[in-house]
Amino acid sequence: MRTARLAGLPLGYAGRATLGLGKRLGGRPAELVAAEVQARTAEQLFRVLGELKGGAMKFGQAMSVFEAALPENLAGPYRETLTRLQEAAPPLPARTVHAVLSRELGVGWRARFTSFDDRPCAAASIGQVHRAVWSDGRDVAVKVQYPGAGQALLADLTQIGRMSRLVGLLVPGLDVKPLVAELKARVAEELDYQLEARSQATFAATYDGDPDIVVPPVVEAADQVLVSQWVGGIPLSRIIGRGTKDQRDRAGLLLARFLFSGPPRAGLLHADPHPGNFRLLDDGRLAVLDYGAVNRLPDGLPTSIGPLLRLAIAGDADAVLGGLRAEGFVRSGISLDAEALLGYLSPILEPARSETFRFSRPWLRAQAVRVGDPRSPAYSTGLQLNLPPDYLLIHRVTMGAIGLLCQLGAQGPWRAELERWLPGFAEPRPKARRGPRRTAKKPPRADTG
């Protein structure tokens, strides 16, 4: 049934396009007909991906992050609809929510709350959030997992796994099977709200009293229900849509600071950077929500990233190729030209090369065209690269953050943030030169004669 619903998306578009052609032949303006077709397609996209939840909705949320890479005439009609998937998927009936709460918190679950709003205030791929007041008077957010979300999510990933051989043929440098296995293992963790509560508690303790970042403390946790302290603020999606320049720059800087500082400070990397998970507070701090997708990095980010990034900016092509091969980004048996690889990477490193840089949709579209055009030399180079499983979530966070920063149009000192948080990226300080060692002269021996 899920496969049929997903298959219906392109079929539905084809039907509407055919109907639109008939209307144009009947004399209606082409622009008006095209707008109607796009609006209906966007609405069906929201409804189908939202109702299916699971991996299908995660795909829709990912599209909403990367729409900045699409031409405006394609992204524009779907931007608002995809953004709705970040926080407002079609809700579950109240009776279903009550059944989950009764099973997870006990039949007397209502006694734990002073009030509970049956209307969800936000919805995600595997759960929806309700606003409530805890028994001690605290405003809380209650996340309730959709019944059957786990089976749906893993089924969607199984479908991806079945396509791994085809992907391997299209991208010869990519080892797909371990990548899919790692993806399934990490996504399965998102279904465990007890695990999420422990991750959130670690972040909350780490950033307690931080001048820039707010992590809501956990109030109560069960397998499929998570209660956290309520956090207000302006959603990042609203700042993207109509925020001021100062708000955009501030949100972008704190987003990057939080993502880069998590591994060295908490031993964890928040691995779900989409606008629905961030709020800019009135005091200028950034509130971060949803800790289901977390990469556990007790030793921080891999120590090779910083030095390799520095070598790439310095233009040392051979060292970069050797380092990427050692880390598994270039598989054994794959022959790759070092200068071509550096040419592939160099434009993407522009934000880290400059003291300040403004991310933008045109910049991201240019990068997408450069690496995605089969006529481009960068395209063939990209096909030869692998993504090691250990870097899966790091890559997801990096690309997602870049997508958000381009949507924000944020300008900031990104290089300084990398130097602060990424080990080995800052230029090593030269050791102070020491002069020749001087030997103290011994005082003359006293005459004892």
Q: Is residue 34 part of a domain?
A: yes
φ/ψ region of 100 (left if φ > 0, alpha if ψ in -120 to 50, else beta) reads alpha
Query: In the prediction, which pLDDT does 296 show?
Result: 94
Going from the first residue of the chain to its last (449 residues), give the mean pLDDT of each consecutive group of 10, the final group possibly shorter: 44 40 42 49 50 49 53 55 54 89 96 95 81 97 87 67 58 70 78 95 98 98 97 93 96 98 97 90 96 93 95 96 95 92 93 95 88 84 90 89 94 96 81 52 45
Whose tokens are 């949100």? That residue is 251
Q: Is residue 6 part of a domain?
A: yes
Amino acid at 217: P
Interior CA angle at 164 toward 160 and 170, to 5°? 120
CA distance 350 to 352: 5
The DSSP code sequence of 195-235 is HHHHHHHHHHHHTTT-SSEE-PPEEEE-SSEEEEE---SEE
| Alpha-carbon torsion angle 369, 372, 373, 379, nearest 10 | 120
Supply 216's token pair.
Answer: 């809501």
Q: Residue 221 is inside which H or E element, if any?
A: strand 218-221
- Helices within 243-297 (DSSP H only): 245-266
Whose tokens are 């309730």? That residue is 144
Supply 301's token pair.
Answer: 């980010």
Buried b (16+ CB within 10 A) or exposed e, 122-141: bbbbbbbbbbbebeeeeebb
Structural domain including 55 reads: 2-86
Query: In the prediction, which pLDDT does 377 show?
Result: 86
CA distance 18 to 24: 10
196 within 8 A of 226, measured Cβ to Cβ: yes
Query: In the prediction, which pLDDT does 124 show?
Result: 66
For 114, residues 6+ apart whose C-beta sits below 8 A from its C-beta are 132, 133, 134, 135, 137
Which residues of 230-298 form beta strands (DSSP E)? 234-235, 268-270, 278-280, 286-288, 294-296
Let me know how long the chain is: 449
Q: Is residue 37 part of a domain?
A: yes
Q: Is residue 308 part of a domain?
A: no
Supply 163's token pair.
Answer: 């396509």
56 within 8 A of 6, measured Cβ to Cβ: yes
Cβ-based neighbour number of residue 180 at 10 Å: 20
Pairing state between β 225-229 and 357-358: unpaired
Tally of structural domains, the chain? 1
Q: Which of 264, 90, 268 is nearest to 189 (CA)?
A: 268
CA distance 61 to 76: 16
178 within 8 A of 386, measured Cβ to Cβ: no
CA distance 358 to 259: 18
CA distance 60 to 49: 6
Supply 348's token pair.
Answer: 């993407």
For 139, residues 6+ apart whose C-beta sits below 8 A from its C-beta are 131, 132, 133, 229, 230
Quick one: the chain helix, strand, coil %, rounded to 5?
60, 10, 30
CA distance 196 to 355: 36
414 within 8 A of 357, measured Cβ to Cβ: yes
Buried b (16+ CB within 10 A) or exposed e, 240-268: beebeeebbbbbbbbbbbbbbbbbebbeb
The pTM assigned to this predicted structure is 0.78
Q: Is residue 266 part of a domain?
A: no
Q: Is residue 68 part of a domain?
A: yes
Q: Is residue 43 part of a domain?
A: yes
Q: Is residue 60 part of a domain?
A: yes
